Chains A and B, each alone.
Chain A
């Protein structure tokens, strides 16, 4: 009877302790860990369980072992940050598997990696064709990262020579029907602005699940009722169309008028608006 209470209390205590220790060790992701990290984390977990179920009778010894592992991990992490050699010694180095489109068989052998495994990894990176891969490297974590050949890379606006408007991260201003004041402050807007926007859309705050403001200050909302179709903000498209209409109007005026000076002014203004349209195109049309 007394034994199970002891195990229960030990389990709870060690659960909290291990949780605290792991949190102190940092936010490293399990999948991205080097084998060394994986072993140390596992060792700490096993130690804690052994102590909980009483396989380690002397609790002091148990805590001593746990503490030593913890301090050693912290020490190794610290030294790995300070020294590159130390880091490579403990965590291993990355290894080039494909260079200039050619597989380095020696590296594969060293990592005991078969051709099938390499191809599988490449496929998981969306490179089904070996011929498309320029460079592949196996990180110390065992993950394989690839660089596609220049002509197989996805096209970016830069490649197309297009200018695009800079976009920073959107701010989530409404969550579950509540206004997030911090996000509003970050983007320099007030609650009054938000309520005015919502009124314009004909929505009340408690209808809204998520609301986001993008970097140009437009509000996008998702409502609870999924059968309600909300019009997407079309202000930018409208503005672009208005400018184009005004520009063509001015051109027509220039053609219609018989007054020479007016003709000239209209022509010049039409050109100015044309410039404005070109300037704003990346910002107004997505």
Chain B
């Protein structure tokens, strides 16, 4: 497996986790719980952004592995 595809895999699972977090943030009744989910959402979103930037760099450096 190339570095790029590894990053893509992690990115995909993180995005999945992010959307599940979003569901829980919306579903929770308790304000404190909602805040915790929102804080977690913010942090995972930052990580996702970093990974996306890194993925672009990797694909630029090794264009032969571009795509899925």
- The residues of A with any CB-CB pair to B shorter than 8 Å are 165-166, 168, 187-188, 215-217, 235-236, 238-239, 242-243, 245-246, 249-250, 253, 256-257, 262, 265-266, 268-269, 272-273, 275-276, 279-280, 283
Contacts and interface: CB of A to CB of B under 8 A. Distances in A.
Contacts of B21: 239
A283 B36 contact: yes
Interface residues of B, number: 31
A256 B3 contact: yes
Given A242-B17, A253-B6, A217 B43 contact: no
Interface in B1-47: 3, 6-7, 9-10, 13-14, 16-17, 20-21, 23-24, 27-30, 32-33, 36-37, 39-40, 43-44, 46-47
Contact of A269 (B30, B32, B39, B50): B50
B52 to A, nearest CB: 11
B42 to A, nearest CB: 9
Most buried by A among B7, B14, B46: B14
Contacts of B33: 165-166, 215-216, 283
Q: Which 9 A-B pairs have the closest CB atoms?
A: A217-B27, A249-B10, A269-B47, A242-B17, A276-B40, A239-B20, A246-B14, A276-B43, A166-B30
B17 A243 contact: yes
7 contacts: A217-B27, A238-B20, A239-B20, A239-B21, A269-B46, A272-B44, A272-B46
A250 B54 contact: no
A250 B36 CA distance: 23
B6 A188 contact: no
Contacts of B24: 216-217, 236, 239, 283
B64 to A, nearest CB: 18
Contacts of A257: 3
Contacts of A253: 3, 6-7, 10
